[in-house]
Structure 1
Amino acid sequence: MKIAVVILNWNGQKLLKQFLPSIVDFSSKEATVYVADNASTDDSIAFVTKNFPSVKIVKNEQNGGYAKGYNDALSKINADIYCLLNSDIEVSKNWLTPIIDVFKKEAQTAIIQPKILDYKNKSKFEYAGAGGGFIDFYGYPYCRGRVFNTIETDKGQYNDTTKIFWASGACLFIRASVYKEINGLDEDYFAHQEEIDLCWRVQNIGYDIKYVGTSNVYHIGGATLQETNPEKTYLNFRNSLLNIVKNVPKKWFLFVVFMRLLFDGIAGIKFLLELRPVHTLAIIKAHISFYKNFNKFLNKRKKLQKKQTYYIHTSIVWQYFILLRKRFETLK
């Protein structure tokens, strides 16, 4: 089984210098390590070539974001399993072994995510992925170990191997054959939540998404776009709406779209009350882009097979903000 660990890079020499050593040290026996460069203008490639001769370089002609960046790079890489790995992740010894074992034993498992912990506080889960992702009835993503901004301490409570709904794009393993079958990531997302769409489509054609808690990685998070960056707010709100249009089953479609637009309006008011008007403007911008792309995504929707059940908990917003259930294990 050929494994390709592929790190997407854009002007990230500082991150590569910090994190590439652990990836090379703890991956080279089981995998080939690649840096897929999104037309960087810094000295990233020269740095990797000089200091890590075993790492292969794939050069993209433009910075197409996360989705196009990986689609372009992976089309040039021959492997059985792709690992899409952020450049701000430190991996641990033997991190690949339990994941490879699951792929070998379970032909129906197409995507795997390891446990993602906070690099800055390794006893805590990290926001982007934590102990595996889920989605509620209204399309809100959340994780075991992270519901909205409440992040749990890792006490071994998620050291299991289990089905999840989505795997984090910070560290996502996928069978190359399945990636090609579904035509990879949707490039219209550019960045943020495209991995949720990917996982949704993979499940709709009959494959499983798994979390393997015996493999640990440590993520800085926000190295590309900080949580306080309104561009991140824009992409998250827009792409979450696009996920709904593209993937929610027909019988719930109109209701879920209407409710999400309503919830987004409430979020915009909340940002105003918090004196963060740039984020309210980001939501308005996200909705304008959503309306512009609505017909395009309706056409994408028509080509996809959709499951009839996709959520675990009815409303995370209700449970978290009204019932004050802050931890995954308390959700009902």
Structure 2
Amino acid sequence: MHNPEPALYPQVDVIIPHFRDIGRLQRCLQSLSATRYPSMAIIVIDNGSGDPALEPLTAGYGGTLVSLSENKGYAGGCNAGFRASKARYAVFMNDDTSHHPRWLQELVSAAERDGNVAALQPKMLSMQEHERGRQVFDYAGGAGGMIDRLGYPWCFGRTFSGTEEDLGQYDTPRNIFWASGAAMLVRRSCFTEIGGFDDSLFMHMEEIDLCWRLQLAGYQIRSVPSSVVYHEGGASLSYGSPRKIYFNHRNNLRILVKNLSMLTLIPVLSVRLLLEPAAAFYYLLKSGVGPSGSVAVLKAFRDLLIRLPETLQCRRQIQRDRKRTDGALFKSQPFSIFLMRRSRA
């Protein structure tokens, strides 16, 4: 059998952090086994579960298992997997995904065409809707992530009331602000240059922080709609979970403090410090969340202050090394998706 030309198929390691629900992981690995790409390897990260069934399951799909003694979250788990990887490209992937057979070939081809692109995201569609015969964008990633001038993230394909049906409206590749951690391909050299994920974020918005720092280092983030991945969503923490609210609010404020220039940070943070109590009050009134959501917001702000010295230390290095201005990054961004959302509610 003729071996494919290695230059056409650079090595890719798919890194999958896993914490619980081995059946979900098996479904993901089964889907990956149908990938039409000859130079793909799989690295599964056992995030402290200690499940003895993970070793034979991973080996059965030709993968490597990296076992951690404790749960390091998505950020720490992915960093551990990357240290075990030597490939030119790494794909960081949730275990609640399934994949079109050519998903990886399309991502690698796009990366190989432009060496200034550091990270790429496939089109993310809802797994549940796909199983019902409908093509609907996934809430977590859609057709690529963006961020408004107050630091609130949003996605192409995600509306104020839910998600859009995929009718081909986002099938043109474009620069985006962030690629979803549910499935993102990253160039090894770029990831290494900026120091990888911020372990302290643990989970939620770590991919936004990573992509933000990649852009500050001079690189681009792109969508690749010809690559399709299906995402179940909410597998780690359900939507409306107080813990999810906590991480989203704490980490969002932390990445603003780390990555914005001082000239931009002061007015943005001034507005956000007014909006955080408003968010706590909103959760208090929101059906299915209530007081626990409000408490989560207050705890997030408390913990942000407790870890402020560490955050400022990270900030100093990022600001010292930055190559792009906030104006260049945010020139086409709306003022606030959050305020627009509230006004239309």
Alignment partners' CA distance in 1, 2:334 and 2:164: 19
Deviation digits for residues 211-267 of structure 1, max 9, x if unmatched? 000110000001011112100000000000001100112212111112112112111
Corresponding residue number in structure 2 for 1:224: 236
The alpha carbon displacement at 1:148 in A equals 5.2
Alignment partners' CA distance in 2, 1:321 and 1:179: 36
Alignment partners' CA distance in 2, 1:231 and 1:148: 23
| Pair 1:320 & 2:341 matched | yes
How many residue pairs are counted as aligned between the two chains? 323
Distance 1:303 1:147, change over 3 A: farther
SS at match of 1:252: helix
SS at match of 1:214: strand
Alignment partners' CA distance in 2, 1:5 and 1:62: 21
Deviation digits for residues 11-69 of structure 1, max 9, x if unmatched? 231111222111122155241122122122334414414642x1222223321111111
Corresponding residue number in structure 2 for 1:3: 12
Corresponding residue number in structure 2 for 1:42: 51
The alpha carbon displacement at 1:128 in A equals 0.9
**Partner AA of 2:168 in structure 1:** G
Alignment partners' CA distance in 1, 2:157 and 2:199: 29
The alpha carbon displacement at 1:294 in A equals 1.9
Which moved further from structure 2: 18-27 or 65-74? Answer: 18-27
Conserved? CA contact 2:37–2:104, under 8 Å? no
| Pair 1:288 & 2:302 matched | yes
Q: TM-score, normalised by structure 1?
A: 0.93
Conserved? CA contact 2:158–2:164, under 8 Å? yes
1:53-202 equivalences in 2 (<5 Å):
54-122=62-130, 123-147=135-159, 149-202=161-214
Distance 1:222 1:256, change over 3 A: same
Q: TM-score, normalised by structure 2?
A: 0.90
Which moved further from structure 2: 207-216 or 39-48? Answer: 39-48
Gap runs ≥5 in structure 2: 1-9
| Pair 1:302 & 2:316 matched | yes
Distance 1:34 1:149, change over 3 A: farther
| Pair 1:277 & 2:291 matched | yes
Corresponding residue number in structure 1 for 2:33: 24
Gap runs ≥5 in structure 1: 325-332
Distance 1:46 1:3, change over 3 A: closer
Distance 1:49 1:152, change over 3 A: closer
RMSD, matched Cα = 1.6
Conserved? CA contact 1:8–1:85, under 8 Å? yes
The alpha carbon displacement at 1:320 in A equals 2.5
Distance 1:179 1:278, change over 3 A: same
Distance 1:41 1:299, change over 3 A: same
Corresponding residue number in structure 2 for 1:328: none
| Pair 1:204 & 2:212 matched | no
Alignment partners' CA distance in 1, 2:101 and 2:307: 44
